[in-house]
């Protein structure tokens, strides 16, 4: 008998004590896939939640049946370990990495599927991230440097506007284009990209695992692309900004130092951009512009 090819799309969702937001995430993902004519599955990893997350998942399981697969971990394992476990069991040709506090706003996923199918050199697609107040979040940034992060600290500690040298001028962009990094509250990628890059680096507990993966994608010849046609609402809690000295924030700092050491740059990104990003981005941006004009 022929082997089951699996679903078109696997949503990979991690959650921790987020039972209030999780239903919107699950419902929006399922409805968007159905509206787009895609076969799908929802693979949800619960990172040891102490709220009623299990009951939420059991209720959705009664409706979705085998299309919902829940993995329960006994403790909070962070973002990398849990996502890796989810991808290990996911069967989709395409993957959507999605935070439990994210909600797909557009029911039509066919444009992002077409983008991934038409451009094998595209590795990760990041949509426009919309905040609850309707503003567009700076979800795509330049590669961070130690200097960039240090300049942000006074603003974060004093709860004032920060200096953001890693932000792109002119954002939000109105057109599809290459970017250096995209936050992982929502990513679309082909499974072959994940297989090419390997799993998320589990030596990073919480962040910046997404920055690391974006740079690894560029180094492997797979571009990171911002796709504003697709919009996702992020009901973010912004834990590191609200509590800059919390264990989560300190874990983020530890992850950043590890990331900078791993990739061998600290104060300047330009050499890395010129060698790993710009050659592909220069050519691909022109092709993406022609492709988008034809949509």
What is the pTM for the complete model shown? 0.93
Question: How high is the pLDDT of residue 147?
Answer: 86
- Banded pLDDT at 111 (limits 50, 70, 90): very high
The answer to whether position 243 is within a domain reads yes
**269 pLDDT above the threshold of 80:** yes
pLDDT in tens, 137-154: 999 999 999 988 877 766
User: Is 60 part of a structural domain of the chain?
Assistant: yes
Looking at the structure of the chain, the number of domains it has is 1
Residue 263 in any domain: the answer is: yes
179 in a domain, yes or no? yes
Whether 190 is covered by a domain: the verdict is: yes
Output the domain CATH number for residue 164: 3.90.550.10
Which pLDDT does position 247 carry in this prediction? 67
On the question of pLDDT at 1 being above 80, the answer is no
Range of the domain at 26: 9-293
DSSP per-residue codes, the chain: -PPP---SEEEEEEESS-TTTHHHHHHHHHHHHHHTT--EEEEEEEES--SSHHHHHHHHHHHHGGGEEEEEESS--TTHHHHHHHHHH---SEEEEEETTEEE--S--HHHHHHHHH-TTEEEEEEEEE-TTSPBP--EEPPP-HHHHHHHHHHHHHTSPPP-TTBPTTPSPSS-EE-SEE-TTEEEEEHHHHHHH-S--TT-SSSSHHHHHHHHHHHTT-EEEEEEEEEEEE----HHHH-TTSHHHHHHHHHHHHHHHHHT-SS--HHHIIIIIHHHHHHHHHHHHHHHHT-
Mean pLDDT of all residues in 175-185: 98
**Confidence grade of residue 2 (pLDDT, cut at 50, 70, 90):** low
Q: Write down the mean pLDDT value for the chain.
A: 93
Looking at the domain assignment, is residue 87 inside a domain?
A: yes
Residue 1 lies inside a defined structural domain of this protein: no
In this predicted structure, the answer to whether residue 246 has a pLDDT above a threshold of 70 is no
In this predicted structure, what is the pLDDT of residue 244?
Answer: 55
As a whole number, mean pLDDT of residues 236-260 equals: 73
- Per-residue pLDDT for 242 more than 60? no
Residue 160 lies in a domain: yes
């Amino acid at each position: 008998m022929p082997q089951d090819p699996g679903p078109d799309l696997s949503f990979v969702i991690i959650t921790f004590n987020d039972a209030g937001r999780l239903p919107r995430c699950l419902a929006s993902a399922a409805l968007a896939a159905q509206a787009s004519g895609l076969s799908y599955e929802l693979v949800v990893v619960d990172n040891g939640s102490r709220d009623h997350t299990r009951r939420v998942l059991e209720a959705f399981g009664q409706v979705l049946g085998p299309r919902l697969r829940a993995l329960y971990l006994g403790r909070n394992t962070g973002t990398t370990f849990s996502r890796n476990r989810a991808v290990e069991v996911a069967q989709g040709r395409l993957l959507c990495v999605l935070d439990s506090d994210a909600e797909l706003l557009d029911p039509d996923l066919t444009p992002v599927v077409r983008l991934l199918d038409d451009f094998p050199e595209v590795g990760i697609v990041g949509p426009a991230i919309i905040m609850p107040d309707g503003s567009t979040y700076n979800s795509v940034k330049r590669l961070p440097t130690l200097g960039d992060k240090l300049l942000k600290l006074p603003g974060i500690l004093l709860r004032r506007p920060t200096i953001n040298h890693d932000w792109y001028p002119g954002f939000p962009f109105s057109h599809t284009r290459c970017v250096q990094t995209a936050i992982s509250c929502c990513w679309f990628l082909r499974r072959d990209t994940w297989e090419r890059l390997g799993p998320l680096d589990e030596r990073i507990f919480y962040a910046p695992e997404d920055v690391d993966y974006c740079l690894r994608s560029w180094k492997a010849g797979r571009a990171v692309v911002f796709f504003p046609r697709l919009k996702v609402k992020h009901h973010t809690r912004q834990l590191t900004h609200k509590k800059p000295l919390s264990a989560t924030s300190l874990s983020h700092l530890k992850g950043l130092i590890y990331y900078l050491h791993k990739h061998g740059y600290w104060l300047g990104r330009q050499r890395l951009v010129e060698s790993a990003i710009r050659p592909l981005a220069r050519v691909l941006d022109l092709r993406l512009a022609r492709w988008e004009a034809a949509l």
